[in-house]
């Protein structure tokens, strides 16, 4: 979501996404794959696209000589068998991208399971072969089909880049964005909902779609129309959606932030909670989805009622919560610090809790805490988990994942299940 504008980017990943999109559309190697196949690309060290959860993850990097290329990950995925992708090539020159992707696809096409749809993903193949054997297969396939005329040219890369030209930024110095003394709400919004921009004087703004009495990610037609107007006024007409179920204005002048905040606040879209516990990612669940085993939205609402105090949320710091209504894991609950999965027990809605998941530079899969809980106990369980975290963290910078890894799940499990054992 921050592609092309974040200040820690090696290169903009969007042109390479477009190259892959054009190459893969109607490509015959994709026509007979055992099952679905997803590719994610990032351009910075911070993983904002969860590349280790995809069949192929590509990270733009520079080698020792300064040449641009990719670190290639293969074999990620969630669902009923969550796995993190593993590195198959530390550095792939950018001109070799499509040939190497084709080699990976051909190995998967040749050896991927076709007798069981639950085992027909490349993650299962990588897991069964082992990453070293899989890598050898890919390298052999690539060398067998290597030809100079299959390499990406500078002209092709430049053509893809032409679709993503930067807007006409004004030459600004670092503009003052501090809050007026009377507006502590604005100060909180600056602290939680603003990202640094690569161009001096500009900022990236998170428009939070998390609010009481509204499903996470929901927005009214009136609000959406107003955001379109605000994008025209403040951000070169561009709005982006995020994996976190929020929206972004990518190119806002620092001097415009206060005026923008006032208008967002009037629209009830200035909730200053990005990255906090209640910045929940939640699937539609049983209220709207035929695949779901349980409802998700009431669980989110119950948790929200217990953590409505902003100061409490800020004291907790960055903390992720994701809620999925079934094993398809549409909310990616496996990679949340606290993940909740709806399950069906004899026709009744129960919820399994996982702890210790993480996305970004230190991706990890959460571990199941214990037996699934009925709906009425879930919010209380989350509150108890948070209590254990707060009691055992060294200071406010001690993350939930760090505390969980240090303690293990025993104290969390004991607190949640003690009175119902």
**CA 264/CA 132 separation, integer angstroms:** 51
Number of structural domains (the chain) is 3
Does some domain include residue 49? yes
Range of the domain at 350: 281-420
- Provide the token pair at 228: 């379109």
Q: Are residues 43 and 82 in the same domain?
A: yes
Rounded mean pLDDT, 257-262: 96
pLDDT digits (tens, 9 = 90+) for 378-395: 999 999 999 999 999 998
Rounded mean pLDDT, 332-351: 95
Q: Are residues 26 and 160 in the same domain?
A: yes
pLDDT band, residue 182 (cuts 50/70/90): low
pLDDT digits (tens, 9 = 90+) for 305-332: 999 888 999 999 999 999 999 999 999 9
Does some domain include residue 173? no
| Local structure of 374: helix, strand or coil | strand
Q: Are residues 129 and 245 in the same domain?
A: no
**CA 312/CA 306 separation, integer angstroms:** 10
Q: Domain of 148: which CATH number?
A: 3.30.413.10
Report the C-alpha dihedral over residues 326, 327, 328, 329, rounded to 10 degrees.
Answer: 80
The mean pLDDT value of the chain amounts to 93
58: left (phi over 0), alpha (psi -120 to 50) or beta: beta
Q: Are residues 375 and 333 in the same domain?
A: yes
CA 268 to chain centre: 24
**CA 303/CA 281 separation, integer angstroms:** 13
Q: Are residues 313 and 390 in the same domain?
A: yes
> pTM above 0.95?
no
Q: What is the pLDDT of residue 362?
A: 80
pLDDT of residue 421 exceeding 60, the answer is no
Q: Closest by alpha carbon to 78, among 52, 42, 111, 58? A: 52
**CA 416/CA 80 separation, integer angstroms:** 24
pLDDT of residue 178 exceeding 70, the answer is no
Q: Are residues 141 and 52 in the same domain?
A: yes
The H-or-E segment that residue 306 falls in is helix 297-306
User: Residues with Cβ < 8 Å from 244, sequence gap 6 or more?
Assistant: 274, 279, 281
Out of 232, 266, 300, a domain closes at 266
pLDDT of residue 213 exceeding 80, the answer is no
Does some domain include residue 416? yes
Q: Are residues 261 and 285 in the same domain?
A: no
Q: Are residues 23 and 160 in the same domain?
A: yes
Among 10-19, 179-188, 360-369, name the one with the lowest average pLDDT: 179-188
Q: Are residues 147 and 254 in the same domain?
A: no
pLDDT of residue 147 exceeding 90, the answer is no
Does some domain include residue 177? no
For residue 72, what are the CA distances in angstroms to 4, 25, 93?
20, 21, 11
Q: What is the pLDDT of residue 314?
A: 92
Beta bridge pairs of residue 58: 41, 72
pLDDT of residue 179 exceeding 80, the answer is no
Beta bridge pairs of residue 281: 322
pLDDT digits (tens, 9 = 90+) for 288-305: 999 999 999 999 999 999
Percent of the chain with pLDDT strictly greater than 70: 97
Q: At what angle do helices 97-111 and 14-24 cross, to 10 degrees?
A: 50
pLDDT of residue 211 exceeding 90, the answer is no
Percent of the chain with pLDDT strictly greater than 90: 86
Q: What is 63-115 written as a DSSP string?
A: -TT--EEEEEEE--B-TTS-B--EEEEEEEEGGGHHHHHHHHHHHHHHHS--S
Q: Are residues 18 and 151 in the same domain?
A: yes
Out of 135, 164, 193, a domain closes at 164
Handedness of CA 375, 376, 377, 383 (dihedral sign): positive
Out of 266, 298, 322, a domain closes at 266
Q: Domain of 202: which CATH number?
A: 3.30.70.3340
Q: Which residue has the tokens 């379109």?
A: 228
Q: What is the pLDDT of residue 152?
A: 94
pLDDT band, residue 146 (cuts 50/70/90): confident
CB 337 within 8 A of CB 319: yes
pLDDT of residue 175 exceeding 90, the answer is no
Rounded mean pLDDT, 69-97: 95
| Local structure of 53: helix, strand or coil | helix
Q: Are residues 49 and 160 in the same domain?
A: yes
**CA 256/CA 281 separation, integer angstroms:** 29
Rounded mean pLDDT, 168-186: 75
CB 383 within 8 A of CB 416: no
pLDDT of residue 333 exceeding 70, the answer is yes
What 8-state DSSP symbol labels residue 358? B
Rounded mean pLDDT, 35-56: 94
Does some domain include residue 53? yes
Does some domain include residue 272? no
Q: What is the pLDDT of residue 361?
A: 74
Does some domain include residue 8? no
Q: What is the pLDDT of residue 419?
A: 64
pLDDT band, residue 168 (cuts 50/70/90): very high
Q: What is the pLDDT of residue 177?
A: 63
Q: Are residues 27 and 148 in the same domain?
A: yes
Q: What is 361-376 written as a DSSP string?
A: TT-B--EE-SS-EEHH
Does some domain include residue 393? yes
| Phi–psi pair at 202, nearest 5 degrees | -110, 160
Length of the chain: 421
């Amino acid at each position: 979501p921050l592609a092309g504008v974040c200040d820690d980017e090696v290169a903009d990943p969007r042109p390479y996404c477009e190259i892959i999109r054009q190459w893969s559309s109607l490509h015959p190697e994709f026509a007979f794959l055992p099952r679905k196949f997803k590719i994610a690309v990032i351009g910075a060290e911070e993983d904002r696209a969860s590349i280790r959860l995809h069949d192929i993850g590509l990270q733009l990097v520079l080698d020792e000589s300064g040449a641009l290329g990719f670190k290639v990950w293969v074999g990620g995925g969630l669902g009923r068998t969550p796995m993190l992708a593993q590195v198959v090539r530390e550095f792939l020159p950018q001109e070799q991208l499509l040939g190497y992707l084709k080699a990976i696809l051909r190995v998967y096409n040749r050896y991927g399971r076709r007798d069981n749809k639950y085992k027909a993903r490349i993650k299962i193949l990588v897991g069964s072969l082992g990453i070293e054997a899989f890598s050898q297969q890919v390298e052999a396939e690539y060398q067998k089909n290597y030809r100079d005329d299959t390499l990406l040219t500078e002209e092709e890369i430049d053509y893809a880049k032409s679709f993503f030209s930067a807007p006409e930024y004004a030459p600004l110095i670092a503009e003052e964005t501090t809050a007026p003394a009377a507006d502590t709400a604005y100060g909180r919004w600056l602290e939680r909902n603003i990202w640094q921009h690569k161009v001096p004087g500009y900022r990236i703004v998170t428009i939070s779609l998390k609010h009481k009495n509204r499903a996470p990610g929901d927005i009214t037609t009136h609000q959406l129309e107003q955001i379109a107007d605000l994008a025209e006024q403040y951000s070169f007409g561009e709005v982006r959606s995020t994996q976190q179920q929020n929206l972004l204005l990518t190119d806002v002048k620092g001097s415009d932030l206060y005026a923008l905040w006032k208008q967002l606040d009037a629209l009830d879209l200035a909730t200053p909670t990005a990255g906090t516990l209640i910045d929940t990612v939640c699937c539609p669940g049983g209220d709207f989805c035929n695949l779901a085993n349980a409802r998700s939205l009431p669980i989110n609402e119950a948790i929200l009622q217990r953590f409505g105090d902003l100061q409490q949320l800020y004291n907790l710091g960055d903390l992720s919560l994701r809620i999925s209504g079934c094993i398809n894991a549409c909310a990616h609950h496996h990679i949340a610090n606290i993940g909740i999965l709806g399950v069906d027990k004899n026709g009744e809605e129960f919820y399994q809790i996982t702890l210790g998941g993480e996305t970004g530079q230190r991706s990890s899969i959460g571990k199941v805490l214990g037996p699934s809980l009925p709906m009425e106990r879930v919010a209380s369980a989350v509150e108890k988990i948070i209590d254990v975290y707060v009691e055992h963290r060294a200071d406010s910078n001690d993350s939930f994942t760090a505390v969980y890894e240090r303690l293990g799940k025993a104290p969390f499990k004991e607190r949640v299940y003690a009175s119902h054992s």
